[in-house]
Amino acid sequence: MRTAKLVLVTALLAAAWGCIPLSLNPVYTDKDLFYEPALEGRWYADSEEDGMLFEKAEANAYKVTMLDKGTKTVLSGHVFHLGKYVFLDLTLDKLPENAEWEKMHLVPFHSFFRVILDHDSLKLSTFDYDWTKNRCGKKATRGPWQESDERFILTGSSKEIQRYILKWVDKPGVFTDSDPLTRRAAKPETRPTG
C-alpha cells in the first residue's frame, strides 16, 4: 500500500506534526548496539525518488539519508537488540553550526522502529499513533509518555523505554503494519561501444 510506504519514508518529517512517537533519550544502551552490514544500500518505496539510504558511519552507526520526492534529510542511525527483536534508533545527524540560539532551542529527539530485514526486503514499524493516543489516557498503561499538542514523547530513561517496548511489542495493533521497502540492484553503467 503506497500510503504505508510513504509513512516509512517520511517518518521523521511526519514526527514534527506528531504522527509517530518520539523519545527524549536514545532507546538503546551501548551494550545493545551492533552493526548489520545487510542494511547498507538504497531501499526504495514505490518510486525511485522515495526511500532510505544506509551508509556506514562509525563502528556501530549509520548515516541514514531519508529521500522524499527530492528532499534529503540526513540522520544518525543505530541498530540494537532488544530481547529477541531488532530496532533502529534515528536522530538528527548534526545540529546547525554557528546558530547558538537555534541550537539552544532544538532538542534532538529519537524516533525508533522495529526492524524486520529479509534479504532485499526491509520492514520498519513503530508504535501505532492511535494506539498510543488511546493508551496515554489510560492510567494503567500510560507508561513513560508525555503528550503535548498531539505529540507523544517518551520521557523515561533508555532502560525504562526498553521495558515499556518489550511489554507491548508482541501485542496485536500496537506497532504499525507497513509495507516493506525493497532493495534493487544498482543499474549497471552503460559504456559506449565501438
Per-residue pLDDT of the chain (194 residues; tens, 9 = 90+): 433 333 333 343 343 334 678 888 999 999 999 999 999 999 998 777 788 999 999 889 999 998 888 788 899 999 999 999 999 999 987 766 766 777 677 778 899 999 999 989 999 998 887 777 776 655 545 556 666 666 778 888 899 989 988 988 988 888 888 788 998 765 545 555 55
CA gap 66, 1 in Å, rounded: 19
Query: What is the residue extent of each domain of the chain?
Result: 2-183
Half-sphere exposure of 36 (CA within 13 A, CB side): 20
For residue 103 the three cell numbers come to 541550537
* Element at 44 (helix H, strand E): strand 41-44
For residue 119 the three cell numbers come to 534479504
